[in-house]
């Protein structure tokens, strides 16, 4: 069994609830979406990766493993394109498993045996250049409810972009609230897109988004810290 891997590296988690935690990142090549804010465009095509076996991935992980690291983050691209590969890698390590996913492949997510924490992106129409499809959101809802039912620690990340209107954000948050089976088990992370100097009146807009999301969910606002620190 092999999967296309772009890179395996150690760094600080720059997004979400584990921000600042040392992790080893396994970045897969290949994605089923093409978001306009994507900062890893080289990961969209499967052809951009090097084919590796689970054993080769673990060997590379062990070479860079440090005492302050206890988590592998499978990212991409879209890692849920390779559920069986993730299972095989997970069997070869005692490290915790984090999944960073767009959540649009619920069947594949259900095939992954071990997950300690999941960061699931909620996609907005503003994330695409005119080709947003409603089934993207519906599949994200299916994935969230599946993970919550399995009692897996999952949170939502919503990337906000300068073109996003508050009404559009509100509509998505309301839909999310109505369709999640147990919304009290879900946290929402608001993440402004990078670079931050692309924004005007960022602070006031962040307060507005946070207040709106806070009507329905526990909410935090966290930028991409690795971009601010200028690390990978």
Model confidence pLDDT, tens digit, residues 168-187: 999 999 999 999 987 667 99
| pLDDT of amino acid 183 | 64
CA–CA distance, 56 with 62 (Å, rounded to integer): 10
Range name among 17-31, 39-53, 149-163 with the lowest pLDDT average = 39-53
User: So what's the pLDDT on residue 132?
Assistant: 66
Q: What is the predicted pLDDT for the residue at 126?
A: 81
162-186 residues labelled b (16+ CB within 10 A) or e (exposed): eebeeeebbebbeebeeebeebebb
Q: Residue range 123-146: average pLDDT? A: 85
The mean per-residue pLDDT over the stretch 2-25 comes to: 96
The domain spans of the chain are 3-229
Cα torsion angle, 91, 92, 97, 98, sign: negative
pTM above 0.85, yes or no: yes
Q: Which helix (H) or strand (E) holds 51?
A: strand 50-52
Coil, helix or strand for 45?
coil
Q: Mean pLDDT over residues 52-78, rounded?
A: 97
Tell me which of 33 and 12 has the higher pLDDT.
12
* Bridge partners of residue 72, in order along the sequence: 24, 97
Q: Which of 164, 205, 221 is nearest to 15 (CA)?
A: 221
Candidates 3.40.50.300, 3.20.20.70, 1.10.3720.10, 3.40.50.720; correct CATH number of 3-229? 3.20.20.70
All residues at 6 or more sequence positions from 69 whose CB lies less than 8 Å from its CB, including other chains:
10, 22, 23, 24, 95
Q: How confident is the model at residue 46 (pLDDT cuts 50, 70, 90)?
A: confident
In whole angstroms, give the CA distance from residue 42 to residue 224.
Answer: 19
More confident residue, 88 or 41: 88
Let me know: does 34 contact 44? Beta carbons within 8 Å: yes
């Amino acid at each position: 069994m092999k999967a296309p891997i772009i890179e395996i590296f150690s760094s600080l988690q720059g997004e979400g609830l584990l921000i600042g935690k040392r992790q080893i990142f396994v970045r897969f090549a290949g994605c089923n979406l093409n978001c306009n804010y994507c900062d890893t465009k080289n990961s969209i095509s499967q052809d951009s990766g090097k084919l590796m076996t689970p054993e080769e991935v673990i060997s590379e992980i062990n070479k860079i493993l440090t005492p302050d690291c206890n988590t592998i983050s499978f990212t991409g691209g879209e890692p849920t394109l390779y559920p069986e590969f993730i299972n095989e890698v997970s069997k070869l390590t005692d490290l915790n498993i984090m999944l960073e996913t767009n959540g649009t492949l619920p069947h594949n997510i259900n095939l992954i045996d071990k997950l300690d924490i999941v960061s699931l992106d909620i996609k907005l129409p503003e994330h695409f250049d005119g080709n947003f499809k409603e089934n993207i959101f519906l599949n994200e809802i299916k994935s969230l409810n599946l993970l919550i039912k399995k009692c897996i620690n999952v949170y939502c990340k919503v990337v906000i972009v300068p073109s996003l209107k508050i009404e559009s954000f509100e509509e998505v948050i309301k839909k999310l609230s109505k369709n999640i089976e147990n919304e009290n088990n879900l946290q929402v992370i608001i993440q402004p897109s990078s670079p931050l100097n692309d924004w005007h009146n960022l602070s006031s807009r962040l307060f507005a988004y946070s207040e709106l999301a806070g009507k329905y969910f526990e909410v935090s606002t966290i930028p991409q810290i690795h971009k601010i620190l200028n690390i990978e």
